[in-house]
Amino acid sequence: MKIAVFSAKRYDREFLNAANASAGHQLRYFDEPLDRESVGLAAGYDVVCIFVNDQADAEVLQALAAGGTRLVALRCTGFNNVDLKAAGQLGLKVVRVVSYSPHSVAEHAVALLLAINRKIHRAYNRTRDSNFALDGLMGFDLHGKTVAVVGTGKIGYVFAQIMLGFGCEVIGYDKYPSDAFKALGARYAEHGEIGARADIVSLHCPLTPETHHIINADTLARAKRGALLINTSRGGLIDTEAVIQALKSGQLGGLALDVYEQEADLFFRDLSSTIITDDVFQRLLSFPNVIVTGHQAFFTQEAITTICETTINSVTQFAKGLPLTDEIKAV
């Protein structure tokens, strides 16, 4: 199969080439993200392979179908950037990587939590400047604290498991509660309990119309004062303006993000010599109690290996006319 790989970075090429060594598909890498401007590059390719910030809206999908593309292969879990209904109507199949190391993302969420609580980002800068003063670096014990896990699927489950190991009380919220989560020794929260009791809230649900801005002025006002918020899921779960207000008033005690609603204009590239025009993002970065990583939670050797192997395997299944294990369709 001829595969056009969009938003291709050096590591994508390395790991996809390795995964493809025995499969023998023809891979063509494009640095550009897939969008309405770049979609012409995909003409003549059977498969388009995309990532989290590529746009596969109805217009792009229409152009892909017209150019001969028959499969859209997401090399990620989330699929909020694909119009599945339009894909179905156009006869385009869509696959994603349903599961790859949930440990990669859960462990990164824990890294962010530890860093924001113990001010590791500030300590790192201070000690490099021979400033060994401790003022402003005080954190709190995680042991005995209440951690809310919003979305108790694969990643939320592993995150909960780790937090239980720290001696935290773990309470969950999920549209579809799971027995596996309860079997860990965690439990599902009573109505209003997350706001009233959680010292830490970590988001692990997908971005859907229902979860868009699940963290907003109202939920923040009902949160425990000084709580920490961790988001390694999707930026759109958080109303960033509301979060800035909550940080300014001290209602929110700290924020650690791996994802940001407008990240498509920023992440996965070196902008260190350019002027960032997103004032909301710049305001976020100005808080001492905010840490941002650039959507790197998935970025471990184990995860990338599985992502690339699964993607190539899906293309091979498609080429052979086999059922697509990781196919997604509009519900």
Which positions are annotated as active-site residues?
Answer: 234, 263, 295
Residues 212-231 that bind ligand NAD (CB under 6 A): none
Q: How far is the CB of 159 from ligand NAD (least distance, A)?
A: 9
Q: How far is the CB of 32 from ligand NAD (least distance, A)?
A: 21
Taking the C-alpha atoms of residue 191 and residue 14, their distance in angstroms, rounded to an integer, is: 47
- Site mask, ligand NAD, residues 181-200, x = CB under 6 A? --------------------
Q: How far is the CB of 7 from ligand NAD (least distance, A)?
A: 14
Among residues 166, 160, 162, the alpha carbon closest in space to that of 143 is found at: 166
Beta bridge partners of residue 292, listed in sequence order: 257
Nearer to ligand NAD, 40 or 209 (CB): 209
> Which residue's Cβ lies closest to ligand NAD?
153
For position 259 contacting ligand NAD by CB under 6 A, the verdict is yes
**Which of 10, 132, 176, 209 touches ligand NAD (CB under 6 A)?**
176
Element counts in the chain: helices (H) and strands (E): 12, 12
Q: How far is the CB of 171 from ligand NAD (least distance, A)?
A: 13
Measured in degrees and rounded to the nearest 5, phi and psi for residue 323 equal -60, 140
The HSE-up count of residue 11 (CA atoms within 13 Å, CB side) is 13
Tell me the CA distances in angstroms from 274 to 39, 201, 203, one per residue in order: 26, 33, 31
Tell me if 65 sits within 8 A of 86, measured CB to CB.
no
- What does the radius of gyration of the chain's CA atoms come to, in whole angstroms? 21
Residues 128-157 that bind ligand NAD (CB under 6 A): 150-156
Residues 20-49 that bind ligand NAD (CB under 6 A): none
- Per the document, the length of the chain is 331
Choose one: 117-125, 160-168, 208-216, 271-279; the region binding ligand NAD (CB under 6 A). 208-216
**Which of 195, 204, 242, 255 touches ligand NAD (CB under 6 A)?**
204
Nearer to ligand NAD, 42 or 171 (CB): 171
Q: How far is the CB of 81 from ligand NAD (least distance, A)?
A: 10
What is the DSSP-derived secondary structure letter of residue 206?
Answer: P
- Site mask, ligand NAD, residues 64-103, x = CB under 6 A? -------------xx-----------------------x-
Taking the C-alpha atoms of residue 276 and residue 283, their distance in angstroms, rounded to an integer, is: 11
What is the DSSP-derived secondary structure letter of residue 202?
Answer: E
Q: Does an H or E element contain 157, and which?
A: helix 154-165
Q: Does an H or E element contain 69, and which?
A: none
**Which of 67, 88, 139, 206 touches ligand NAD (CB under 6 A)?**
206
DSSP codes of every residue in 32-67 = SPPSTTTGGGGTT-SEEEE-TT--B-HHHHHHHHHT
Measured in degrees and rounded to the nearest 5, phi and psi for residue 25 equal -75, 160
For position 233 contacting ligand NAD by CB under 6 A, the verdict is yes
Q: How far is the CB of 172 from ligand NAD (least distance, A)?
A: 9
Hunting for tokens 């990669």 — which residue is that? 104
Nearer to ligand NAD, 15 or 298 (CB): 298
For position 298 contacting ligand NAD by CB under 6 A, the verdict is yes
Among residues 46, 42, 19, 44, the alpha carbon closest in space to that of 29 is found at: 42
Nearer to ligand NAD, 1 or 228 (CB): 228
What are 138's two structure tokens? 């005080």
For position 295 contacting ligand NAD by CB under 6 A, the verdict is yes
**Which of 60, 297, 304, 308 touches ligand NAD (CB under 6 A)?**
297
**In the complex, which residues of this chain contact ligand NAD (CB under 6 A)?**
77-78, 102, 105, 150-156, 173-176, 204-208, 210-211, 232-234, 258-259, 295, 297-298
